[in-house]
Amino acid sequence: MLKVLVTGALGQVGSELVPALRRFYGTEQVLATDIRGAPAEHPSLGGPYEQLDCTNGNALRELLERHRVKVVYHLAAILSARAEADPQLAWRVNMEGLYNVLEAARQINAQVFVPSSIAAFGPNTPQDHTPQDTIQRPNTLYGVTKVAGELLCDYYALRFGLDVRGLRYPGLISYTAHPGGGTTDYAVEIFHHALRHNQYTSFLGPDTRLPMMYMPDAIRATLELMQADPARLRHRNAFNIMAFSCTPAELAAEIQKHRPGFKMHYAVDPLRQAIAESWPRTLDDSAAREEWGWQPHYDLAGMTADMLEKLAERALKEV
Ligand code: VAH
C-alpha cells in the first residue's frame, strides 16, 4: 500500500528527500510528484513518479485517495526571488497548493510536513538569535505565504486535529540539485563555480550574514520531526532549526582553505540583497532541541569539505 506522497519532488529539497524516504519506507512506498515531467536521470525517478499540479485540488485529492496516502511531504513552492518577480503565481502555488494539501489530508487523515523558512521573519524581527515565538511581518510575498502557511497549518492542527508539522528551513546547501529562484542560492552556485572556474561573483555583499544548513542535516531534521512523539510537541508550524550562519566572505575563505587560488568577486543584486537583509542572521532553535531532540551535524567547515569532495567525485564520474 503506497504510504508517502511528495510534492515538488524535483526541487532542491525533494531531490534528496525522496531518496531518503525511499530508503526508510521502501522505494515502492514513496510516490514522487512535481508539476514538471521528470528528467530520466533525476534521483526522484528511482521509483513511482507522477506529474501533479498541486493547485489542482481535485487531481491532488484523487491521487491521495487512489494511492491511500498516509503521509504527505508538501515541498512545492515558489521561492523568494522568483516570488517577487511573479507574486500572483507565487500566491497561487504557495497558498492554494497548501490549502489543497491540507484539505485533502484532512479528509483522509494523512500526516503532513510543510516547510516554512527563515523568510517567515521580517525586518522588525530580532535578527540575532531570532526567537521561536516573535513578531513575523515579512515584506516579501514568499515570506507572507510562509507566515500565512504557518498559521493555516496550525489552524488545521487545532481545528481538525490534523497532524501537520513544519520547519523554518535556513538557506540550504546541497550538491544533488540546483536550487531555483532563491536568495540563498549563492551558497550553492559558489561551489559549482569554484570547481569549474576557480572564481565566483556573488549577488550578495561580502558581509551578508544568513543562517545556513547542509542538506543532509535538513533531511534528517525533517524525518526526525515527522517521527517525533506528538505529545512532546508544544509547537508545530514551524520550528526554528539552526546549524551555522555565514557570510559570502566567510564561505569564500573556507573554500580557499581547500582551493587557495579561488577568487571571489561581488556584483550585488539589490532585490536579493534587500531580501537577505530582512531575514535573521542567527536563530534560537532551543524549542526544536527540547521538543524533539534536534542537533546539527555539519558546521561551515564540515559542509564545505563535503560539498567540494562530493562535487569533485561527481565531476570525475561525468568525465
Ligand atoms: C530562498 N532558499 O532563498 C530559499 C529559502 C531561507 C531561504 O527559503 O528563497
List pLDDT tens digits, range 237-265: 999 999 999 999 999 999 999 999 999 99
Q: From the CB of 79, is ligand 1 less than 6 Å away?
A: yes
Q: What is the mean pLDDT of residues 204-213?
A: 98
- Is the pLDDT at 103 greater than 90? The verdict is yes
Q: What is the mean pLDDT of residues 179-189?
A: 91
Q: Which atom of ligand 1 is nearest to the CA of 117?
A: 8
Q: Please give the Cα distance from 212 to 172 (Å, whole number).
A: 6
Atom 8 (ligand 1) nearest CA: 117
CA–centroid distance, residue 319 to ligand 1 (Å): 32
CATH number of 171-212+243-281+297-318: 3.90.25
Domain ranges of the chain: 4-170+214-240, 171-212+243-281+297-318
Q: Please give the Cα distance from 145 to 88 (Å, whole number).
A: 11
**What digits encode the pLDDT tens for the residues 128-173?**
999 999 999 999 999 999 999 999 999 999 999 999 999 999 999 9
Q: Residue 119: in which H helix or E strand, if any?
A: none
Candidates 49, 73, 142, 298; catalytic one? 142
Q: From the CB of 117, is ligand 1 less than 6 Å away?
A: yes
CA–centroid distance, residue 108 to ligand 1 (Å): 31
Domain 4-170+214-240 sits in CATH 3.40.50.720: yes
CA–centroid distance, residue 28 to ligand 1 (Å): 30
Q: Which atom of ligand 1 is nearest to the CA of 211?
A: 6
- Could you tell me the three cell numbers for 63? 491521487
Q: From the CB of 245, is ligand 1 less than 6 Å away?
A: no
Please say if 142 is a catalytic residue: yes
- Is the pLDDT at 114 greater than 80? The verdict is yes
Q: How far is CA 86 from CA 76, 93, 139, 192, 218, in A?
A: 16, 11, 15, 27, 27
pTM: 0.96
CA–centroid distance, residue 140 to ligand 1 (Å): 11
